[in-house]
Structure 1
Amino acid sequence: MQKKIRQSVREIEISGIRKFNNHVAGIPDIIRLTLGEPDFPTPEHVKQAGIDAINNDFTNYTPNAGTPSLLEAASDYFYDKYNLSYSTKEIIVTVGATEAISVALQTILEADDEVLLPDPIYPGYEPLIHLMDAKAVKIDTTETAFKLTAEDLRAAITPKTKALILPYPSNPTGVTLTIDELREIADVVRETGIFVVADEIYSELTFFGTHVSIAPMIREQTIVINGLSKSHAMIGWRIGFLMAPEAITSQMLKVHQYSVTCASSISQKAAEEALHNGKDDAVQMRTEYNTRAGFVQERLIKMGFSIVEPDGAFYFFAKLPDHISQNSFDWATELAEEAKVAVVPGSAFSEKGDRYFRLSFAASFSQLAEAMQRMATFMEKYA
């Protein structure tokens, strides 16, 4: 019966991040710096809103796009934060940013369309593109400090190009784009008429300055994805947001409706509280992540790794020293087995990432300190 399953489904695989995390999970006393989830708890006032929703029996279906009060809160929040002007008819509450990505791509892609991806990139996009019988076209950013340039974007666009996925701050690199860099990219997008799917889930974890969205520059061509998993440590609550002009959201809503009906009613009440009264909830986390980044960066450099300083999120995408001949998977496996530190092989993000590894510093300072000591001892054998 397996042969009767759709071929494109059989061809995709479980994320390399999850594969490796599962591969090393059974090693005793291992410090896992693999998964991209905050190590902070959901703020108390947000948790209480969820508890109140349960106690008040707010447990039925909501409107497909989300409760009117949450859509109002989201409209106000993203305008105040990033000057994004979207009415309640231009916002959809999704089951996390992951569903938002899926709905956006299902809505705009047809067979044989091409989607441009800055490379290396989070591995959650390409399988969705493949499921739509479209083609992912990767643009190498390893020679431009992991930044997509307007010049490289223009060179990659063909008559089949339908969209550009633009995630920033980036997973896995932590790099973001300046307003001038975004304007140059926006000019190319405007000229060529393609969509931009701007994945801005790490927007509140921007270390230097305030996050800038590309959407106001090319509003009619942009689909913005955001959510509360990273900004409010609400990973398991599964609340994301899709924002686009109404002509687009009215079509995306149909895909969302037939996929999940609506996001959890309880989570929506918690999200409303987060947006109304938790606008600064990310400040403490962002400050702590930035402090950890400085600590980890100094030690990785001393060990001989090449680093591009992250602008946000909570990752390093570090390059192995040239004298290490192993590929990233074998090196990371050896690190896990011998030093009991788990990082994600760069090959999980692309072929271009094979000489790199991703390290998440969303872990306690004591864990990071111990992990750095273990890694330093491990690296002595390569000296």
Structure 2
Amino acid sequence: MEYRTAKRMESLPFSGIRAVMEKATKMQQAGEKVIHLEIGRPDFDTPEKIKEAAFKSLKAGHVFYTSNYGIPAFREEIARWETEHHGVKYEAEEVLVTVGVGEATYASMAAFLQEGDEVLVPNPVWLNYIHVPSSLGATPITYSLKEENDYQIDFDELESKLSDRTKMIVVVNPSNPTGGVFSFETLERLSRIAIEHDLLVVADEIYSQLVYDGTKHVSIASLPGMKERTITLGGFSKAYSMTGWRLGYMCAPKEIIQACVRVHQYTITCASSFVQEAAITALRDCADDVESMRQEYQRRKDYMVKALNEIEGISCNNPQGAFYIFVNIKQLGMTSMEMAEYLLEHAKVALVPGSAFGTEGEGYLRISYACSYEELQEACGRIEKAVAELKKK
């Protein structure tokens, strides 16, 4: 039998991040010591209180389906947390529990984008925001985030890309892959554009608790006139180190949630019951754990920014959020893919080529500093040696 994939699959490449990870893992299995800086996965264990809450839920027999929307008490807790931390007043009925931000991304776009619609998407960006709308028959139109602008929006460029087909704007704040955080002024101007052109905003804020150097994260939904047109996405993978638990959520007006749940119920049904109950504990009782991890990320970031900028031939800005550094390698005369392969082979350090995140990522490598301080020190030493050898050629 001949198997023919759907035509839409032509627009869905394999993840560039996972491709690097697979190659690095094979090298490791062959006995080579590879330092993994390619994956956005915290190296911390999930806080013990969260694990205990999950175990308690399992022992109590809470192993059945929940409402499609999520456990009521959990939705109430998410609404409370968002209201307290982001200054947006939500009710439980304005919350949908999802299986990670990945599913929330798909549901928010599948519910509202039609064939022929356009969606404005950052460049560079986590590529789900490019490929999900493409798979739905919509067209992603990218707006550039450049290092020389500290990864703020160039509004002349963005406004030139608006059309009568534009339906949605994606905001990833803090940014994956740059670590950039949008200023209040950037968000305020973006909100005016969204209101003027009657656009939906999908705001990915999963890294909102991981900001540094006194930076304040502002949720775009908190600005005047924005709650009613914003789908805010959040989750537990990053700040709570719960990547394998696969839990996220979206907050939006009830009418938007009701549209998204129809996608959710036919793809996922519901998130795991005991995971939802454990996450109630995360939101209520684990602020100190999150702050402890954030402080360690701050320490790692400070070291990496200094160490990388001391290596001749590469440079980086000082990112204010997430746990990524976008390293400029343009002086070295290699594409980002070539440089990532060179460092993996010669330095045994796994990094992601910036081109995996869009055209504006070319000339950069993404480093995740979500690994130990000692590994970061060794990685910088290896990178410095490999770059020095490259410059001699």
Q: Which runs of 4+ in 1 moved over 6 A?
A: none
Q: Map 1:197-346 onto structure 2 (within 5 A).
A: 197-207=202-212, 208-217=214-223, 218-303=226-311, 304-322=313-331, 324-346=332-354
User: Structure 1's 2 and 278: CA in aligned 2 closer, same or farther, altered over 3 A?
Assistant: farther
Structure 1, residues 88-113: CA drift from partner, whole Å, max 9, x if none? 11100000111000100001100011
Contact 2:86 2:222 in 1 (8 A): no
Aligned residues: 382
- Partner residue, 2:52: 48
- Are the aligned partners of 1:15 and 1:124 in contact in 2 as well (CA < 8 Å)? no
Partners of 2:288 and 2:157 lie apart in 1 by 36
DSSP 3-state at the match of 1:121: coil
Offset at 1:306?
Answer: 2.4
Q: Does 1:192 align with 2:200?
A: no
Maintained 8 Å contact 1:153/1:185: no
Q: Distance in 2 between matches of 1:6 and 1:102?
A: 18
Amino acid at match of 2:371: A
2:368 maps to which of 357, 360, 373: 360
Residue 348 of structure 1 aligns with which residue? 356
1:179 correspondence with 2:184: yes
Matches within 5 A, 1:74-89: 74-89=78-93
Alpha-carbon distance, 1:352 to partner: 2.1
Letter in 2 for 1:97: V
2: CA distance, partners of 1:24 / 1:2: 33
Question: Tell me, which stretches of 5 or more residues in structure 2 are unaligned?
Answer: none
Corresponding residue of 2:131: 127
TM-score normalised by length of structure 1 = 0.97
Aligned to 1:152: 157
- Residues 78 and 85 of structure 1 are in contact (CA less than 8 Å); yes or no, is this contact kept in structure 2? yes
TM-score calculated relative to the size of structure 2:
0.94
The code of the aligned residue for 1:198 comes to: A
Deviation of 1:292 after TM superposition, in Å, equals: 0.5
Question: Distance in 2 between the 1:39 and 1:219 partners?
Answer: 34
Q: Answer whether contact 1:150 1:188 (CA < 8 A) is retained.
A: no
| In 2: Cα distance, 1:274 partner to 1:188 partner | 36
Q: Distance in 2 between matches of 1:293 and 1:2?
A: 51
Give the conservation status (yes or no) of the 8 Å contact 2:11–2:135. no
2:21 — aligned with what?
Answer: 21
Query: Any conservation in 1 of the 2:171–2:203 contact (CA below 8 Å)?
Result: yes
Partner of 1:183, secondary structure, is helix
Higher mean alpha-carbon deviation, 19-28 vs 306-315, is at 19-28
The match for 2:67 among 48, 54, 63 is 63
Distance 1:152 1:246 in 2: 33
**Deviation digits for residues 259-300 of structure 1, max 9, x if unmatched?**
111000010011111112123431011111111111011111
More displaced, 47-56 or 296-305? 296-305
Q: Which shifted more, 9-18 or 29-38?
A: 9-18
Instruction: Report sequence identity in percent.
Output: 35
Partner secondary structure for residue 129 of structure 1: helix
Question: What secondary structure is seen at the aligned counterpart in 1 of 2:366?
Answer: strand
Indicate the larger mover: 278-287 or 333-342. 278-287
Superposed displacement of residue 337, structure 1? 0.7
Q: 1:305 to 1:111 in 2, by over 3 A?
A: same
Q: In structure 2, do the counterparts of structure 1 residues 63 and 354 end up closer, same or farther at CA, with 3 Å as the change threshold?
A: same
Q: Deviations over 1:50-109 (max 9, x none)?
A: 000111110000111111110111111111111121111110000011100010000110
